[in-house]
Homo-oligomer: A and B are copies of this chain.
Amino acid sequence: MPSISLKGKAMPASPIRKLVPFSDEAKKRGIKVYHLNIGQPDIETPANVLDKIRQTDLKVIEYSHSAGIPSYRKKLVEYYMKFGIDVKPEEMIVTTGGSEAILFAMNSCLDPGEEIIIPEPFYANYNGFSMTSGVVVKPIDSFIEDGFALPPMKVFEEAITPRTKAIMICNPNNPTGYLYSREELELLKEIVLKHDLFLFADEVYREFVYDGLPHYSVMNLKGIDQNVVLLDSVSKRYSLCGARIGVLISKNKDVVSTALKFAQARLSPPTFGQIASEEAINTPDEYFRVVLAEYHDRRNIVVNSINKMEGCFCPNVGGAFYAVARLPIDNSDKFCQWLLEGFNYNGQTVMLAPATGFYSTPGRGIDEVRISYVLNVNDLKASMKCLEEALKVYPGRK
């Protein structure tokens, strides 16, 4: 029997999914599990998008252009213009989810063994894509005490080696919810230009910013056009996770023409998803006002509730719909498993993501969890109550 690849053996399993068997077991025992572990929003997809799909009058579901349906790319120009981002259709490769945009960026810009610096904690699947492409992730520390702000320039400088080829950020951040300021991005620009690096920016949560804070895009930085690669997705923006549509954007023609070769190999992004995504750009602003108000309330519930729990800390969050909280626990993997296996409060419990999965440095995140506030306000309050009660009785409480 032939053995699988070493790459396959080393490939990390999803830290978000590894507790699923335990939550399935809990449900079988009749326990209600509040899922705060996943990034699947409960928000409805805009009605105009679903209507558009129902009106599909195609006769043949053909391959689209490998770089995406031209009319969709044109429509994206209009979308980005609203954020003062001036891009052309030929500067875009429509991808199968933001996931593929990340993979294309890594494959196009970095060779196996080359390094990408990412402040940790970071979106766990960056590990998977770097493993797939042979790229080495060099994590640098960001800290819960600073709300996970951008590490100082000195820390970047120390991490840069001759093999460093790129820096990657997620803004607003998954898992921390941190929103990078314009000043922080200007600092990044200096490092990137000084060392001639690519800057990959995952901005899929662009619209999800709170307290009236502005979102500043890497595409708005001046003089760094040739270094910047924007990675984007419709998944969270329009609650279209299953459409699997993202985009890679760069003013660097070599990057786009190289990404196109990877795009041609997989033929095309999904047609139905592109139809949905093109229509999604017509979604009325009112939809976002309602959604944002909802997330704003949820964020307040999570951050305020946790900070009221004894020994807990959750920095305020500027964007996205995640927060990382520090809890008085011995081990977040054990704690999250125990919540499903060994605890319930009035027949209810909560499923969280251990933050260890979002760090690549062993040992970090051991007393932290990621909370996705993707439940309605009442369920969210109930789940915070569960967490509070759980912490009172958890055997591994510190």
Interface residues of A (CB under 8 A from B): 1-9, 11-14, 17, 40-45, 49-50, 53-56, 58-64, 66, 96-97, 99-100, 103, 107-112, 114, 125, 128-129, 131-134, 165-166, 196-198, 226-227, 235, 239-244, 252, 254-255, 258-259, 261-262, 264-273, 276
User: Closest 6 A-B residue pairs measured CB to CB?
Assistant: A128-B265, A242-B271, A272-B272, A8-B258, A14-B264, A270-B270
**Copies of this subunit:** 2
Asked if A63 and B241 make an inter-chain contact with CB atoms under 8 angstroms apart, the answer reads yes
B-side contacts of A49, CB under 8 Å: 61
With A50-B58, A56-B54 in contact, is A13–B261 under 8 Å at CB?
A: yes
Asked if A45 and B63 make an inter-chain contact with CB atoms under 8 angstroms apart, the answer reads no
With A60-B42, A61-B276, A273-B272 in contact, is A110–B264 under 8 Å at CB?
A: no
> Could you pull out 27 A-B pairs where Cβ atoms are within 8 angstroms?
A1-B196, A1-B226, A2-B165, A2-B198, A2-B227, A3-B254, A4-B109, A4-B258, A8-B107, A12-B261, A13-B264, A14-B66, A14-B265, A45-B61, A60-B239, A61-B239, A61-B240, A61-B242, A97-B267, A112-B134, A128-B262, A131-B265, A134-B134, A244-B267, A244-B270, A270-B270, A272-B272
Asked if B227 and A1 make an inter-chain contact with CB atoms under 8 angstroms apart, the answer reads yes
Q: What separation, in Å, do the CA atoms of A227 and B133 have in the docked complex?
A: 25
Asked if A5 and B53 make an inter-chain contact with CB atoms under 8 angstroms apart, the answer reads no
With A97-B266, A99-B265 in contact, is A4–B108 under 8 Å at CB?
A: yes
Chain B: minimal CB distance from A14 (Å): 4
Asked if B241 and A267 make an inter-chain contact with CB atoms under 8 angstroms apart, the answer reads yes
Q: What separation, in Å, do the CA atoms of A140 and B60 have in the docked complex?
A: 36
Asked if B241 and A62 make an inter-chain contact with CB atoms under 8 angstroms apart, the answer reads yes
Sample of 19 further A-B pairs with CB below 8 A, known A2-B196, A53-B56, A242-B270:
A4-B254, A4-B255, A11-B107, A11-B262, A14-B264, A14-B265, A17-B264, A42-B60, A50-B58, A50-B59, A61-B243, A62-B241, A62-B242, A64-B242, A96-B270, A103-B266, A134-B134, A243-B271, A270-B270
B-side contacts of A252, CB under 8 Å: 1
Tell me the interface secondary structure of chain A in the complex: loop
**From A226, which residue of chain B is reached at the shortest CB distance?**
B1
**From A1, which residue of chain B is reached at the shortest CB distance?**
B226
Chain B: minimal CB distance from A131 (Å): 8
Asked if B11 and A197 make an inter-chain contact with CB atoms under 8 angstroms apart, the answer reads no
Asked if B258 and A9 make an inter-chain contact with CB atoms under 8 angstroms apart, the answer reads yes
Asked if A44 and B59 make an inter-chain contact with CB atoms under 8 angstroms apart, the answer reads yes
Q: What separation, in Å, do the CA atoms of A292 and B29 have in the docked complex?
A: 52
**From A110, which residue of chain B is reached at the shortest CB distance?**
B5
**From A130, which residue of chain B is reached at the shortest CB distance?**
B265
Asked if B61 and A43 make an inter-chain contact with CB atoms under 8 angstroms apart, the answer reads no
Asked if A107 and B132 make an inter-chain contact with CB atoms under 8 angstroms apart, the answer reads yes
B-side contacts of A42, CB under 8 Å: 60
B-side contacts of A114, CB under 8 Å: 5
**From A199, which residue of chain B is reached at the shortest CB distance?**
B2
Chain B: minimal CB distance from A148 (Å): 23
Chain B: minimal CB distance from A332 (Å): 20
Asked if A268 and B254 make an inter-chain contact with CB atoms under 8 angstroms apart, the answer reads no
Chain B: minimal CB distance from A329 (Å): 26
Select which of B2, B112, B267 is within 8 A of A99 by beta carbon: B267
Greatest chain B CB density within 10 A among A242, A267, A273 is at A242
Q: What separation, in Å, do the CA atoms of A366 and B381 have in the docked complex?
A: 70
Chain B: minimal CB distance from A370 (Å): 16
With A1-B226, A244-B270, A271-B242 in contact, is A45–B17 under 8 Å at CB?
A: no
Asked if A276 and B266 make an inter-chain contact with CB atoms under 8 angstroms apart, the answer reads no
B-side contacts of A165, CB under 8 Å: 2
Asked if A45 and B66 make an inter-chain contact with CB atoms under 8 angstroms apart, the answer reads no
